[in-house]
Amino acid sequence: MNKNIYGFVDYLGLLVLMMIFISLVLIYGYAPMEKTMGMAQKIFYFHVPSAFMAFTSFAVVFVASILYLKSKNDKYDRVASSAAEIGTLFALIVLLTGPIWARSAWGVWWTWEPRLTTTLILFLIFIGYLMLRNYGAIGEQMKKYSAVVGIVGFLDVPIVYTSINWWSPEATAHPRGLELESSMKFALTFSFVTFSILLLFLILKRIDLERLRNKLDAKKAKYLR
């Protein structure tokens, strides 16, 4: 990234910190307490945006992987690998916050209902993607295999998103729609915006780290010849 991009990312980081603080104030000080679940419902403002950030990250992996296979340009591989790491992180947040919410809403920490199961599968696919990049093939072969896994793995995203509509209401514990008060909607919307900017910040930072690592690997290979 050039100097202008560096400056942009630094300012983006400051903006993220400010927006996280405002989000916390809105979630815990502005949005009212839900009558049934109480404080546990507040996890909703982190759980739902994290899920969509994971979906967005894996969509980036999907597009960048296709572009890499078509062009063999390493910049697309860097974008794909960076987005995969960030997406896996957000998917982990979803899987950790979900049971906390589920315990209050459903009375159990985990149930093998469609959305939870397909989300776990999505997470494991991209854990496999990261393991392939770190412990599998090397060089061009590794990038090609990773791109294929990234493309195939993304196909689970629409399945996760639409899973509650594919099975009967008795088979899935996730609600098909949520009615929120206006203050709750505002807090959730602001949380979505905050998480979106955080996602952009993390991916840009990770892409630059990957670029520097590739340069270092190239120099090491040159000296070892």
Please determine, for residue 105, whether its predicted confidence score (pLDDT) is greater than 80: no
Residues 137/139/141/147 CA torsion (nearest 10 deg): 100
Confidence of residue 5 (pLDDT cuts 50, 70, 90): low
Would residue 29 count as lying in a domain? yes
Query: What DSSP state is assigned to residue 12?
Result: H
Tokens 């202008």: give the residue. Answer: 4
> What is the rounded end-to-end Cα distance, in angstroms, of the chain?
28
What whole-number distance in Å separates Cα of residue 60 and Cα of residue 144? 16
Would residue 90 count as lying in a domain? yes
What whole-number distance in Å separates Cα of residue 77 and Cα of residue 214? 11
**Per-residue pLDDT at 158:** 93
pLDDT in tens, 161-217: 887 776 555 555 565 556 678 899 999 999 999 999 999 999 999 988 877 877 787
Please report which helix (H) or strand (E) contains residue 56, including its range: helix 44-71
Please determine, for residue 36, whether its predicted confidence score (pLDDT) is greater than 80: no
Tokens 């996890």: give the residue. Answer: 43
Contact between 123 and 95 (Cβ < 8 Å): yes
Please determine, for residue 220, whether its predicted confidence score (pLDDT) is greater than 80: no
Would residue 2 count as lying in a domain? no
Residue 201: phi and psi, rounded to 5, are -60, -50
Would residue 1 count as lying in a domain? no
Instruction: Quote the number of domains for the chain.
Output: 1
Please determine, for residue 147, whether its predicted confidence score (pLDDT) is greater than 80: yes
**Per-residue pLDDT at 212:** 80
Would residue 141 count as lying in a domain? yes
State the pTM of this model.
0.86
Q: What value does the mean pLDDT of the chain take? A: 86
Within 13 Å and on the Cβ side, how many CA atoms surround 220?
Answer: 6
Average pLDDT over every residue of 142-171: 84
Residue 153: phi and psi, rounded to 5, are -60, -35
The residue among 151, 187, 188, 180 whose CA lies nearest residue 52 is 188
Look up the CATH number of the domain holding residue 68: 1.20.120
Would residue 109 count as lying in a domain? yes
pLDDT in tens, 66-85: 999 999 998 999 999 999 99
What whole-number distance in Å separates Cα of residue 13 and Cα of residue 195? 12
Give the residue numbers spanning the domain of 204.
12-224
Would residue 71 count as lying in a domain? yes
Would residue 5 count as lying in a domain? no
Contact between 86 and 60 (Cβ < 8 Å): no
**Per-residue pLDDT at 6:** 54
**Per-residue pLDDT at 225:** 64
**Per-residue pLDDT at 110:** 78
What whole-number distance in Å separates Cα of residue 167 and Cα of residue 196? 30
pLDDT in tens, 115-139: 888 999 999 999 999 999 888 767 7
